[in-house]
Structure 1
Amino acid sequence: MPQRRSHVAPSATQTELAAALSALREELDAPQEFSPDVLAEAENATAPEPGLDLRAVPFATLDPAGSMDLDQAFHLERNGDGFTVRYAIADVPSFVAPGGAVDAEARRRGQTLYAADGTVPLHPKVLSEDKASLLPDIDRPALVWTFDLDSAGAVSAFRLERALIRSRAKLDYVATQASLDRGEDSPASLLPVIGALRIEQERMRGGASLNLPDEEVVRAADGTYAIERRSPLAVEDWNAQLSLMTGMAAASLMLEAKVGVLRTMPQPDEKSFETFRHQTEALGRPWTTGRYGDYLRALDREDPLTLPILEAAASLFRGAGYVVFDGTTPADAMQAAIGAPYAHATAPLRRLVDRWSLAICLAISQGEKIPAWARESLNELPALMQESAQRASRLDSATVNCVEAALLTPFVGATIDATVIAVHGDRATVQIADPAVTASAPVPAGTTPGTSVRVTVQRVDISEGQVELTT
């Protein structure tokens, strides 16, 4: 799916939208500011200098353009007929004092929220975008995973160490993809090779990736809001494989030690699979053989029916949660979409649970005692993360709804083209191409996904994020 952007022009509509977005943050108790005691503690936070010095290794970061909260840095090299992958993670556990003001506020927030009118960060920016962030050309403490991969991309050995690093390059996805496409030398030159091998490893495990197009509300420099929808670039998928590999390594360490926190997701049941098969048949792209992950990977991203299929497949990716354990291993430790046990351990600047995973894994890897603060508070994590996930979901969906209502304001009374994505009884989810809006509309009996329809915009309410369409 090509990138699409629809703007809300500066006007009374823009003012109403800004007010609605501000009210939404307040309603969800999502303040951007931190209290003075949290800011003071963050300003004074220091991390002990690690004993291991890896500043000679030319690490690089790869993130969306403009990002400053840089959680990960990588270094890739060939090693005989295999590879060595170093994956450095921001050493947040060293900067956050257990039981302190920053710790307490991070537990309340749970994760960084990305609002249209600014982020609601997990940590004060002096930590997340400065002291703890793996910014280029600055010495930073990090938790460094080192992986030995064989020629097929399988992990043969790994270790985790605390080290001092110095990133050499701050890469972004779009520019890096263009550079790789041109065949230019880059710190990411081996990423397509290793990423493709790891995707094949995922296929052999029975893993599956949904890869729905991203939908993001952005604010331009002129103050206008926009909705961007685009399919992930190949370099994003390759980079994600490094994070997935690390999460699986973290899970294996914690399972072996019988203490930790996993991100789990159950395997879809047969009823869900059968429903999805019927949906693919109705769309004329039947899934008849093989595993569902192979079917999803083979879909043509240029096919207009791929989006409805991916939307239908979302029902297979449900039930994700966190499981904590201490002394015994969970009865079901699998993350079905990944095809292996998995832990969140690569985004501690932006997600609370990763700090626990990293602290526990480092202690296990180094043969040290697991920090008491991490062990004693394990049972709190699932509820804290569920609450923050619900807040993030409500913020994301309500923000998109408000912006979509604003985008359609000039079209009230007009009839425009749309495509049916999914059908739910006598209503359907439809995608309007211009402006880029997804909404619900009544449809005649027998309407199928992929059908083109004409919808009339009857009413919009920006403050409530409501759109009323008729066909």
Structure 2
Amino acid sequence: MPRRHMHMAGADGAALRAALRELRTELDVPGEFPPAVLAEAEEAVRAPRLPDADATDLPLFTIDPPASRDLDQAMHLEKRPGGGYRVHYAIADVAAFVAPGGALDAEAHRRVSTLYFPDGRVPLHPPVLSEGAASLLPGQTCPALLWSLDLDATGRVETTDVRRALVRSRARLDYDGVQHAIDSGTGGEALALLAEIGRLREALEQQRGGISLNVPEQEIVARDGSYTLAYRAPLPADGWNAQISLMTGMAAAELMLAAGTGILRTLPTAPDGAVGRLRRAAKALRIDWPHHVPYAELVRSLDPHDPAHAAFLQECTTLLRGAGYTVFTGGHVPDPVLHAAVAAPYAHCTAPLRRLVDRYTGELCVAAVAGAEPPAWAVAGLAALPQRMADGMRLANTAERECVDLVEAALLQGRIGETFDATVIDIKEHEPLVGTVHLEEPAVVGRVESTSARLPLGDRIRVRLTQADPGRAKVLFAPA
């Protein structure tokens, strides 16, 4: 995808920042942390609940975007002497700092998840924790939930352990750097094993019928005091890193199911009508989809850099809607139990600095491995979590989409009437004159409305900008 950066003039940048402030107010985004919460966080930093076990000898490393400081996960990968692999995966131990029922806990339940805006994040926890004492920053000793997963030679999990331990990350890596190091052979054994294990886990995902969509995404980029947009297609390293997290989430689900108490991330199987719509889209895009070929196998064969394939992958995201959380207690197997895209039971457990539910999952898994009763607070709070998480994730998704809309409008403000090269990536099923186009440059994805001709899904067309006003009107195009 093209990645030419567009620069906005100072006036446009000022207007955009004002519009972002208005958006925060409109969405009722939490503001500063209350004094009592900040005071409790400072006290927690001075006296956290530290574990007895010391695993600071493990040469852990993190993989995150370059600017991130809220680092939830660190890993170390090694070969087992008798064959297979061992994955050490340290997850920030937020519960070591957050006392149940305290001001910090109550504020986290109010916020639910970290919100990301171009001009800064709205964190789930005060930065002194999320970007400081609880973050797995390199060279810092901190408490963690240390997962140890033993895999066989095919990458399948044989044994799972998770317990509290002190850890210390050695290196802070980013995706581009990891990919370059692996491709050039300069990353050492640990990164070579990330690629090796990642590919094995991808093969197992394929065998299960699971699917990971490789859809190019818009990315807001800070530049010269303002913001612009770029397209970013996921790197192989993104996928390999995600496979470690997915594997841990699947292991967490199995532990909680065996213990009889937990909370799963679930996604129902797409209805037949949704798959039928995808088949019609594939036909319109001239993508060969034989009836004997499973959906997951087709998706894995596509190239996200091909405009028709990228349009189809965008259509595939409709099958991922409807995800939620399912609570179970007393040994009763929940329904649904599977996450359709993972094709296995799955739980959120690897991002507790940024997502409330992961703190609960971590506690339940530690108790399950120890054969102990989970903490009373973790069980008592389960029932309310699905709705609370749904509300919080809805706000996070809305904020993300609205921010992109604002930056798009700011980039194109003053260019009404200009024409652009674009690809039609979506058409409303019952309104074939209305759809979505993906501009080649700038990196804009916007609504298009035709007055007569049906929009050609997957085709490259010229479109004319008819509307763009940050904070007032989203971008709108018409066929040129």
Tell whether 2:464 aligns with 1:456.
Answer: yes
Shift of 1:5: 4.7
Q: Measure how far apart 1:280 and its partner are.
A: 0.6
Residues 125-274 of structure 1 mapped to structure 2, 5 A cutoff: 125-186=127-188, 187-220=190-223, 222-274=224-276
Q: Structure 1 residue 128: deviation in Å?
A: 0.5
1:108 is aligned to 110
Name the TM-score, length of structure 2 as normaliser: 0.95
**How large is the RMSD of aligned CA atoms in angstroms?**
1.4
Checking the alignment, whether the CA contact within 8 Å between 2:357 and 2:389 is kept in structure 1 is: yes
Amino acid at match of 1:121: P
After TM superposition, give the deviation of residue 468 of structure 1 in Å.
Answer: 3.1
Conserved? CA contact 1:364–1:370, under 8 Å: yes
Q: What is the identity, as a one-letter code, of the residue corresponding to 1:191?
A: L
- Code of the residue aligned with 1:346 in structure 2: it is T
**SS of residue matched to 1:379:** coil
1:25 alignment partner in structure 2: 24
Aligned to 1:121: 123
Question: Given the alignment of the two structures, is residue 468 of structure 1 paired with residue 468 of structure 2, yes or no?
Answer: no
Q: Shift of the alpha carbon at 1:469? A: 2.2
| Contact 2:112 2:392 (8 Å CA) reproduced | yes
What does 1:58-457 correspond to in 2, within 5 Å? 58-79=59-80, 80-186=82-188, 187-220=190-223, 222-288=224-290, 289-327=292-330, 328-424=332-428, 425-443=432-450, 444-457=452-465
Q: Which amino acid aligns with 2:9?
A: P
Range with bigger deviation, 282-291 or 167-176: 282-291
**Residues 1-23 of structure 1 deviation map (CA, whole Å, 9 limit, x = unaligned):** 35x25434133222111111111
Q: Is the 8 A contact 1:402 1:466 kept in 2?
A: yes
The answer on whether the counterparts of 1:41 and 1:102 sit within 8 Å (CA) in structure 2 is yes
Compute the displacement of 1:268 (Å). Answer: 1.1
In structure 2, the partner of 1:50 is 51
Unaligned stretches of 5+ in structure 1?
A: none
Mapped to 2, the partners of 1:449 and 1:36 lie a distance apart of 53
8 A contact 1:68–1:133 mirrored in 2: yes
The letter for the 1-side match of 2:408 is E
Tell me if the contact between 1:403 and 1:465 (Cα under 8 Å) persists in the aligned partners.
Answer: no
**Whole-angstrom distance in 2 between the partners of 1:32 and 1:231:** 33
Separation of aligned partners in 1, 2:213 and 2:187: 30
Name the SS of the counterpart of 1:7 in structure 2.
coil
3-state DSSP of counterpart to 1:305: helix
Tell me if the contact between 1:7 and 1:224 (Cα under 8 Å) persists in the aligned partners.
Answer: no
Amino acid at match of 1:430: V
So what's the TM-score if we normalise by structure 1? 0.97
Distance between the aligned counterparts of 2:266 and 2:8, measured in 1? 43
1:422 deviation in Å? 1.5
Q: Distance in 1 between matches of 2:448 and 2:108?
A: 40
2:303–2:310 CA contact under 8 A, matched in 1: no
Q: After TM superposition, where is structure 1 displaced by more than 4 Å over at least 4 residues in a row?
A: none
Is the CA contact (8 Å cut-off) linking 1:422 and 1:448 kept in structure 2?
no
* Equivalent residue pairs, number: 469
> Contact 1:32–1:119 at 8 Å: present in 2 too?
no
Residue aligned with 1:332, SS? coil
CA distance in 2 between counterparts of 1:131 and 1:11 reads 37
Residue pair 1:421, 1:450 contacting (<8 A) in 2 also: yes
**Counterparts of 2:227 and 2:151, CA distance in 1:** 44
CA contact 1:254–1:361 (8 Å) conserved in 2: yes
Query: Aligned in 2, Cα 1:92/1:343: closer, same or farther, shift over 3 Å?
Result: same
Query: Distance in 2 between the 1:466 and 1:64 partners?
Result: 28
**Retained in 1: the 8 A contact 2:308–2:459?**
no
Given that 2:214 and 2:304 are in contact with CA atoms closer than 8 Å, whether structure 1 keeps it comes out as no
Q: Take 1:321 and 1:224, find their aligned partners in 2: how far apart are those partners?
A: 36
Q: Once the 2 structures are TM-superposed, how far is the Cα of residue 470 of structure 1 from its aligned partner? A: 2.3
Aligned mates of 1:413, 1:308 — CA distance in 2: 25
Q: Structure 1 residues 68, 277: closer, same or farther in 2, change over 3 A? A: same
Identical counterparts, % of pairs: 47
